[in-house]
Amino acid sequence: MCSLKIALQKSGRLSEKSIDLITEAGINIMNGTRKLVSRASNFPVEIMYLRDDDIPQYVYDGVADIGIVGENVFREKNKTLRIIERLGFARCRLSLAVEKQSRYTGIQFFEGKRIATSYPNILDSFLKENGIRAEIHEINGSVEIAPGIGLADAIFDVVSTGSTLISNGLKEVETVMRSEAVLVGGNGLTEAKREILSALLFRIRAVQKARDNKYILLNAPNEKLDEIAGILPGMKSPTVMPLAMEGWSSVHSVVNENQFWEVINKLKEAGAQGILVIPIEKMIV
């Protein structure tokens, strides 16, 4: 039977969240053994575990149909693939950093300088766009030590909290791109594979949507119901049910993570009591 081949990172910053996403979509991939390829028992997909740098090439060659990779790696490899879905995890940025004692006054600083990076293509196009000529030194791994050992004047690397830069005596001066994990694919999928992909996407979106929202239950005096309903954005409108206690109701709704604390505060001010917040497992809208 036809199955969709999905490339995931074998081990590293993307692996766990990639596997969680597939598993939460109800796909049983028995990842305990971590063989190179494993077939799901209840959905027509096969998972291939690879180094993240190889994923764009495998998808481009059609060895895998889709893959989950950091947008930074996706852009660097520059294959003619498309982003099918942004996944919101492994967020980071690709930045230029210089030694902390350097006097940095702007991008002209890099003219004629040596910059160490594992992302030469992204850096090259950034420098060209800005009309800067610099020497790019491609190195794999431990880029942050390059200035300290005299190999480069600056680095261009992935930054998340920034603590690696600080502990190597560097400061971030330009953010060139922001990145998150993305689901990527080629264009030549067969009809059968496109159908599997669309069923998979439906599930992934339901999982993602659920993660972004919380289910909220509260008690409210009946005379406050209109005000409280106005605060709750909800999917359509909140569910209101009478409580056994005369004059009170129970109100149920869905609140987006981003608005969450603001909404809770307004609800309390409006007289809501006994507020319960519950995670949602899947959400289909």
**Site residues (CB under 6 A) for ligand PRT?**
9, 12-14, 51-53, 70, 72-73, 90, 92, 144, 157-164, 179
Between 54 and 65, CB nearer to ligand PRT: 54
CB of 213 to ligand PRT, least distance (A): 24
- Alpha helix ranges (H) inside the chain: 15-24, 55-61, 71-77, 120-129, 163-167, 191-212, 225-231, 260-269
Place of tokens 């005299």: 150
Residues binding Zn ion (CB under 5 A):
52-53
Closest-approach residue to ligand PRT (CB): 70
The least distance separating ligand PRT from the CB of residue 145, rounded to whole angstroms, comes to 10
Residue 219 φ/ψ, nearest 5 degrees: -105, 145
Give CA–CA dist 185/190, Å, rounded.
13
Q: Which does 158 bind (CB under 5 to 8 A by kind): Zn ion, ligand PRT, none?
A: ligand PRT
Determine how β-strand 181-185 pairs with β-strand 66-70. antiparallel
Which of ligand PRT, Zn ion, none binds 228 (CB below 5-8 Å, type-dependent)? Answer: none
230 binds, among Zn ion, ligand PRT, none (CB under 5 to 8 A by kind): none
Strands 213-221, 114-117: pairing is unpaired
DSSP secondary structure, 105-118, as one string: -SGGGGTT-EEEES
Q: 43 or 74: whose CB is closer to ligand PRT?
A: 74
- For 53, the token pair is 């740098």
Binds 237, which of ligand PRT, Zn ion, none (CB < 5 to 8 A, cut-off by type)?
none
> Nearest approach, Cβ of 116 to ligand PRT (angstroms)?
12
Report how far apart, in Å, the C-alpha atoms of 167 and of each of 12, 65, 87, 145 are: 22, 40, 30, 10
Cα separations in angstroms, 236 against 110, 175, 233, 249, 267: 53, 40, 8, 18, 18
Q: Which is nearer to ligand PRT, 13 or 171 (CB)?
A: 13
Choice between 52 and 144, CB closer to Zn ion: 52
- Measured from the CB atom, is 43 or 58 closer to Zn ion? 58
Taking the complex as a whole, the smallest distance from the CB of residue 164 to ligand PRT amounts, in Å, to: 3
136 burial level (CB within 10 Å; 0-12, 13-18, 19+): middle
Residue 48: CB minimum distance to ligand PRT, A: 13
Residue among 20 and 262 whose Cβ is closer to ligand PRT: 20
Q: How far is the CB of 162 from ligand PRT (least distance, A)?
A: 5
